[in-house]
Structures are given as structure tokens and as C-alpha cells.
């Protein structure tokens, strides 16, 4: 698909639209709101973009082009691969960096649009993988699957707008420093050898608990599983109660018996996903794993269960579609879960297994890698969920910088 060059006015519209879509979700933003943000009448937008779908498509393309330009700017000759990656990461997180659109509704677009956005995301990942390869060649980076590592890094950066706050206990510079440090050095103590990867845990307990549901509960759970898949892939705008009914082989009345509108269905899917994540944590506690094995198995179970009807399934990408009351209540539940994970990190720091990292940023980096999985790997299956999880875990635990131990 050929995309015409943008005028300055079109660029101004894209900047405003990206900000609105990021804050309120694609489904909740109107062309009238975008027009008001650039002090124009709604009709003026249609001189540049055919409709809202065309507008967000160009927001995606603009965001992808920003990533590419920033990678190119970081790749200065004579600098080793690790420093290029660090320059790119730090540059992307600058306060003056151009705002990115959040890649949450790609599959709500018509097939030609969505296919192009997916393809360009993978092209950017391949470009970053080439930089990682360069670092492996010059000895500054330890990475055995650069493309997966590139996906993880982009996922971390794409997740930042969901949680970064200018009113929290940290400054933006402190956030940049913490993220850069964890990506570069990992969370595991540098002077301790990285253990061998453990054998994967069985999914049987999770699948058996779902199989034990009675017929009515199983039917309801299946509906939420299918709806979660749709919200993950199509976003809130591309999902409707009617499309869920069709996907689930149910009548519209069957859906409306449980949910009168889409927001309540999304909230149920998000709560189901969070309950699934909590069940993973409880399952791991029963095994009394050490720090390294716990993190590896947590990421494995999350990604492996995403690919089953059991789930976790629902991710946090559509939170901004919820009304204020539901969003605040759900975010409160998520933060309570995150705080428990941060407590585990602190215990491992005290035990001498983790470096003295800021546990707040560590958990958000780990979450960022895991929660983009359903969007990145919707159709691409070059790696199994467990293989993908292991590469993400290695990045989180060991970082990019090679570990050098005295012989």
C-alpha cells in the first residue's frame, strides 16, 4: 500500500490523534475530539484522512517511522552494538521524544491496513535484531536469538506509556536510568553464574481446573476465553457482542443474557485474565522455586497458557476503554498483585540473588514483555511459546551485556 507524504497540518493532526488514542482508546475517541484538539472543524480532517480508521492507520505508520529513525540515529559508526541499543532505548524514553501510538487495535483495521502495520512492526524488529547481531559480533552483547530479543525490547518500550507517570516517586530520568540498567545488566547478580534453564512445568493443573467446571460455568468461561482473544487481537473497537456471539457459536441473546454492553464484557475478560495470572503465582509458590526458576516458569506459564483456551488470555491493553470507576477498581487490583511480585523481588535481593534494582521498574519491564505476546505472535509461529518465554526470561534475568566470570 502506497502512503502519500504528509503535510505539516496532517502531521499536527497525527500528533494530536496519537495523544487522544493513547489516553482514551481508539474506540472512545471521535473525529470531533481530534478536530477540537487541533482547533479545526471536523470536516477539515477529511481533507487529510478518509475516516477514523485511516487516521489511526497513519498514526501507526508515523509511530513505526519514529522508531526506525531513532534506531538509525543511534547506529552511529564506530560505536559498539550494546551502546547503540542503549542510545536507542534512552532516546525513546526522553521526555521530548515524539509520542507513540499504542499498538492495541491493529486487527480492528481492515485487512490491508492491519497486515501492513504488522509487517512494518516486524521490519522494525528485524532492523533492531541487526543491531543486536552487530553487538554479538563485536562482543558487547550476549544474545542467541536477536529477533526475539528485539521483540522483547520494543514491547518494553511500547508498554511504558501505560504506566509512566510524571507524578510518581521517580523522575523521568530516574525511570530511564532504571530501565537502561535492567535491560543492560539484568536483574540477576552479575557475579553469580546463570543457572541452566529448568524443565517446563506442566500445564495440567490449569487445564484440569477448567475441565472440572460444570457445563454452565464451562460455557460461560469459553465465551470469556473467546472474547479475550478478540479483545487482544482486535482491541475494544474491533470487538462487538455480536462478533463474540458468532465466534462462540452462540445467539446474540445468549451473550446479552450475561452482558448488556461491551464494557462489562471487557471488564469480565480482564478480571478473568488477572485471576489467571494470580493462579500462576499461587502455583509457583507451591513449588517453592528459587529466584531464577520462579521468573523463568512464570513467563513460560503466562505465554503457554495464552495459547490454550484456559488462558490468562486478557491483557491490559484495553484498560482505557473502561469507565473511570471500573478502570480505577481494576487497576487497583492489578497494582496489589504487582506489589506482591515486588515483595518477592525484594526478598531475592535480600537473599543475594537479585541485584539492588528498583523493583517497581523491574516488574513493569517483565509485564511489558509478556503482555504484548498475543499481538506480536497472532499468526507468526517461528518459536513455541516456551521458547519465546525463555528468551524473554534471559533478557530480564541476565541483560544484554555478556557476563564475564574469572576462571
Could you tell me if residue 292 is inside a domain?
A: yes
pLDDT at 140 over 70: yes
Q: Burial level of 400, CB count in 10 A (0-12/13-18/19+)?
A: buried
User: DSSP string covering 148-186, please?
Assistant: HHHHHHHHHHHHHHHH--TTSSS-HHHHHHHHHHHHHH-
Domain of residue 305, CATH code: 1.10.357.10
pLDDT one-digit tens code per residue, 316-365: 888 888 999 999 999 999 999 999 999 999 999 999 999 999 999 999 99
Could you tell me if residue 55 is inside a domain?
A: no
Could you tell me if residue 301 is inside a domain?
A: yes
Percent of the chain with pLDDT over 70: 96
Name residue, grid cell 478480571: 271
Give the number of domains in the chain. Answer: 1
Could you tell me if residue 372 is inside a domain?
A: no
Could you tell me if residue 177 is inside a domain?
A: no
- Crossing angle for the helix pair 359-371 and 146-163, to the nearest 10 degrees: 120
| Averaged pLDDT for residues 180-191 | 96
Could you tell me if residue 299 is inside a domain?
A: yes
Could you tell me if residue 39 is inside a domain?
A: no
pLDDT one-digit tens code per residue, 63-122: 999 999 999 999 999 999 999 999 999 999 887 656 666 777 888 888 899 999 999 999
pTM of the model: 0.91
Domain containing 334: what range?
204-357
Could you tell me if residue 368 is inside a domain?
A: no
Amino acid at each position: 500500500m502506497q502512503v502519500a507524504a504528509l503535510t505539516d497540518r496532517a502531521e499536527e493532526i497525527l500528533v494530536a490523534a496519537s495523544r487522544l488514542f493513547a489516553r482514551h482508546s481508539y474506540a472512545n475517541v471521535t473525529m470531533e475530539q481530534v478536530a477540537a484538539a487541533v482547533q479545526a472543524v471536523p470536516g477539515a480532517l477529511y481533507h487529510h484522512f478518509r475516516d477514523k480508521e485511516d487516521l489511526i492507520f497513519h498514526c501507526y505508520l508515523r509511530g513505526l517511522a519514529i522508531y526506525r529513525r531513532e534506531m538509525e540515529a543511534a547506529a552511529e559508526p564506530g560505536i559498539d552494538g550494546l551502546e547503540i541499543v542503549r542510545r536507542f532505548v534512552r532516546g525513546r524514553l526522553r521526555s521530548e521524544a515524539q509520542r507513540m501510538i499504542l499498538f492495541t487495535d491493529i486487527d480492528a483495521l481492515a485487512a490491508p491496513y492491519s497486515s501492513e502495520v504488522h509487517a512494518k512492526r516486524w521490519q522494525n524488529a528485524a532492523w533492531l535484531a541487526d543491531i543486536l547481531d552487530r553487538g554479538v559480533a563485536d562482543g558487547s552483547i550476549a544474545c542467541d536469538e536477536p529477533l526475539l530479543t528485539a521483540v522483547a525490547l520494543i514491547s518494553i518500550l511500547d508498554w511504558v506509556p501505560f504506566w509512566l507517570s510524571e507524578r510518581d516517586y521517580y523522575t523521568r530520568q530516574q525511570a530511564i536510568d532504571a530501565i537502561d540498567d535492567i535491560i543492560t545488566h539484568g536483574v540477576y547478580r552479575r557475579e553469580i553464574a546463570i543457572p541452566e534453564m529448568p524443565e517446563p512445568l506442566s500445564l495440567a493443573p490449569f487445564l484440569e481446573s477448567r475441565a472440572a467446571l460444570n457445563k454452565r460455568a464451562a460455557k460461560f468461561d469459553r465465551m470469556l476465553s473467546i472474547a479475550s482473544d478478540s479483545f487482544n487481537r482486535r482491541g475494544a473497537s474491533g470487538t462487538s457482542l455480536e462478533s463474540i456471539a458468532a465466534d462462540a457459536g452462540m445467539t446474540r441473546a445468549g451473550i446479552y443474557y450475561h452482558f448488556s454492553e461491551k464494557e462489562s464484557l471487557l471488564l469480565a475478560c480482564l478480571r478473568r485474565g488477572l485471576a489467571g495470572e494470580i493462579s500462576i503465582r499461587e502455583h509457583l509458590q507451591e513449588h517453592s522455586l528459587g529466584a531464577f526458576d520462579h521468573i523463568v516458569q512464570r513467563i513460560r506459564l503466562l505465554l503457554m497458557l495464552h495459547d490454550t483456551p484456559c488462558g490468562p488470555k486478557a491483557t491490559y491493553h484495553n484498560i482505557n476503554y473502561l469507565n473511570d470507576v471500573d478502570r480505577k477498581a481494576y487497576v487497583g487490583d492489578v497494582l496489589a498483585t504487582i506489589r506482591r511480585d515486588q515483595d518477592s523481588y525484594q526478598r531475592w535481593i535480600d537473599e543475594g540473588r537479585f541485584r539492588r534494582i528498583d523493583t517497581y521498574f523491574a516488574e513493569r519491564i517483565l509485564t511489558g514483555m509478556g503482555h504484548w505476546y498475543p499481538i506480536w505472535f497472532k499468526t507468526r509461529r517461528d518459536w513455541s511459546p516456551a521458547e519465546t518465554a525463555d528468551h524473554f526470561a534471559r533478557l530480564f534475568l541476565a541483560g544484554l551485556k555478556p557476563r564475564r566470570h574469572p576462571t
